[in-house]
Amino acid sequence: MNKQRVLFLCTHNSARSQMAEGLLRSLAGDRFDVASAGTEATRVHPLAIRAMADVGIDLSRHTSKSVETLLDQPWDHVITVCDSANERCPIFPKPTHRLHWSFPDPSQARGTTGDRLNVFRRVRDEIAARLEAWLETMAAATRGGGSTVEVVRLAEKFGKFSDAWSPRIVGEVNAMHVKVVKLRGEFVWHHHDREDELFFVVHGRLRMQLRDGDREVGPGELIIVPHGVEHCPRALSDEVHVLLLEPAGTLNTGNVQNERTVAELERI
């Protein structure tokens, strides 16, 4: 049996990615080769080791690694588990499926050692639940012959939510997410360091504000904003329905973190 290769990334390869590596190896080591790394290497946090020991998983021999040492290896799935690593994730030269799962940083916990350990345990359990759901999704796809082919009805998808500026995932194309979002009013000026974005207007009119001048986009029209270009979408209609196509893991507010940042996207 050929195992799929999974790499978990966070900033320091100290806690979240280490726990994810240990958990997936415990849950499905017969199906996956698993590793973890960071955008910079530090150490494995002692409280991560203790939290995992509570569930019978030994991280005491794990070491912190830099992702730069693993770039040339083939990875079927690269999963970032913190927002900073997602924004700073390097380009992998070989084809890979990118996912972003946002978990709070347990190393930022304050209080007694017991208080901090409980935070590590809570994040451990959140990661475990996310892994179990992902494994079930993977198993369902395998039972269905490895893929599912469905018609996506956009009107139906837009009818499932009412809030603005909070994208939902409705499909995947290679390492890209297909998303739907409702826009009302004005967003925030931002840019994306590595990701290009495609906006296809389904309903209403959109003004894409750019530093070199605005562009207006109507129903049946699309605009592509290259990475690095600062932009600010603004709805010209009371409500605009937009289909987005962008790399998996793209944060909606890019280089800006504020109350409109949505790190964990719902699938509908």
What are the pLDDT digits (tens) for 15-38? 999 999 999 999 999 999 999 999
Confidence of residue 150 (pLDDT cuts 50, 70, 90): confident
Check which CATH number belongs to the domain holding 130 and give it.
3.40.50.2300
Strand partners, 177: 172, 246
Catalytic residue among 9, 79, 89, 123: 89
Q: Identify whether residues 131 and 161 lie together within a single domain.
A: no
Q: Identify whether residues 77 and 24 lie together within a single domain.
A: yes
Q: Which amino acid is at 160?
A: K
pLDDT at 237: 95
pLDDT at 7: 95
Q: Identify whether residues 125 and 242 lie together within a single domain.
A: no
149 within domain boundaries = no
Q: Identify whether residues 113 and 163 lie together within a single domain.
A: no
pLDDT at 136: 82
Per the CB < 8 A criterion, the answer to whether 250 and 139 are in contact is no
pLDDT at 57: 96
Which tokens belong to 18?
């280490």
Q: Domain tally for the chain? A: 2
Average pLDDT estimate for 209-238: 96
What are the pLDDT digits (tens) for 155-204? 999 999 999 999 998 988 876 889 999 999 999 999 998 889 999 999 99
Which tokens belong to 118?
């409980």
232 carries an active-site annotation: no
Which tokens belong to 142?
């395998």
Catalytic residue among 10, 223, 235, 265: 10
Residue 90 has pLDDT above 80, yes or no: no
55 within domain boundaries = yes
pLDDT at 183: 97
Per the CB < 8 A criterion, the answer to whether 90 and 67 are in contact is yes
Alpha carbon distance 153, 6 (integer Å): 32
Q: Which amino acid is at 154?
A: L
89 carries an active-site annotation: yes
Catalytic residue among 82, 206, 243, 245: 82
